[in-house]
Amino acid sequence: MRVLVTGAAGFIGSTTAELLLSRGHEVVALDNLSKGRFENVPSGASFIEGDCGDEELILKLGSFDACVHFAARIEPAQSVTNPEEFFANNVGSTFSLTQALVRSGVERFVFSSSAAVYGNQVEMPIGEDRLPAPESPYGQSKRMVEEGLHWMAQSGRLRAASLRYFNAAGGTRAHPERHVPEIHLIPIALDVVLGVSDHLDIFGDDYPTPDGTCIRDYVHVLDLAEAHILAIEVLDVHPELVVNLGSGVGYSNRQVVETVRKITGVDFDVRVAARRPGDPAVAVADIARAQSLLGWRPTHSALDAIVSDAWAAHQLTN
């Protein structure tokens, strides 16, 4: 297949591009480098520096068997203060992209959606049929794209899979998790281990959870990458898919901290800071649909394996 990967200089996009290449596919890697790092782009891919919302550029790239669309701004807190940037980049650019893809005859589109579409749910695990209730412009931007894709799929213009990732984590040595700013617990903790920062903040320890800290579902980026390839294939039989991707198991912030201490062998300073608005107490995926529809199994996503791989990758980038 010839596959367009947007956001290919980012964490999940670069890992997926690498996996596609290793399976013998041709990858055109597009990124505007607003957040990603050029060195993340796999050497076997053809790299195009540009914006996914640039329709003329996309049209010039020719046709593809599929597009996997990772490019987006990803910081929920920043989206609350600058919502217009998130809607322009995550929604506006995406619909310019889909317009160009339809004009180029591209039929399969895999979209990086997010558990953020669910907002603050009480009952766990969260299945795909749960009513979306995003609590940030970031989550709303993902939901708006899902809704647009639904209509495109209904009209037969584009086959679309919306993959709702829970907490992407882990990493490989070639493609470590490195966001700017970093907002994810495991790489922030690893920075403290390495002395890049002096302590780790946990946001709130008075949630209704066994140890009072938030519980999240971590999924290894290698498992995510695999799910994208499966989704491309399954779009041949299903014109529209909405699928959760998680491990199906939740870990509290404190459990993650303990795992980081165990894997690295380093104790470090952890402080409790104020809760962040919009943070749900618990977010754990029901992954039955991913298993049945995609035939997907998160084989790399045990927490110890995630932290070990993240640690191995993280040390190389400091």
- Binding positions for ligand NAD, rule: CB under 6 A: 6-7, 9-13, 31-36, 51-53, 70-72, 74, 89, 93, 112, 114, 165, 167-168, 179
Say which amino acid occupies 201. D
Nearest to 264 by CA among 210, 214, 179, 200: 200
Q: Which is nearer to ligand NAD, 82 or 155 (CB)?
A: 82
Write down the least CB distance from residue 260 to ligand NAD, Å.
17
**CA–CA gap between residue 54 and residue 15 (Å, rounded):** 24
Write down the least CB distance from residue 204 to ligand NAD, Å.
19
Q: Which is nearer to ligand NAD, 70 or 251 (CB)?
A: 70
Between the alpha carbon of residue 119 and those of residues 63, 135, 171, 178, 277, the distances in Å are: 36, 5, 26, 25, 11
Q: Where are the beta strands (DSSP E) in the chain?
A: 2-6, 26-31, 46-49, 66-69, 108-114, 159-165, 167-169, 200-203, 215-216, 218-220, 240-245, 251-252, 270-273, 282-283
Write down the least CB distance from residue 265 to ligand NAD, Å.
26
Please count the other Cβ atoms lying within 10 Å of the Cβ belonging to residue 92. Answer: 15
**Lookup: tokens for 178:** 């490195």
Write down the least CB distance from residue 267 to ligand NAD, Å.
26
Query: Burial level of 26, CB count in 10 A (0-12/13-18/19+)?
Result: middle
Residue among 138, 207, 218, 251 flagged as catalytic: 138
Q: Is 138 an active-site residue?
A: yes
Q: Which is nearer to ligand NAD, 124 or 266 (CB)?
A: 124
Between the alpha carbon of residue 38 and those of residues 10, 26, 35, 276, 297, the distances in Å are: 9, 18, 10, 32, 30
Q: What end-to-end distance do the CA atoms of the chain give, in Å?
A: 36
Write down the least CB distance from residue 222 to ligand NAD, Å.
13
Q: Which is nearer to ligand NAD, 11 or 109 (CB)?
A: 11
**Lookup: tokens for 259:** 């795992």
Q: Which is nearer to ligand NAD, 244 or 264 (CB)?
A: 244
Q: Which is nearer to ligand NAD, 153 or 285 (CB)?
A: 285
Sign of the Cα torsion 206, 207, 209, 213 reads negative
Q: Which is nearer to ligand NAD, 138 or 207 (CB)?
A: 138
> Torsion angle, CA of 107/224/248/122, rounded to 10 degrees?
-70
Q: What is the DSSP letter of 188?
A: H
Write down the least CB distance from residue 220 to ligand NAD, Å.
11
Active-site positions? Answer: 138
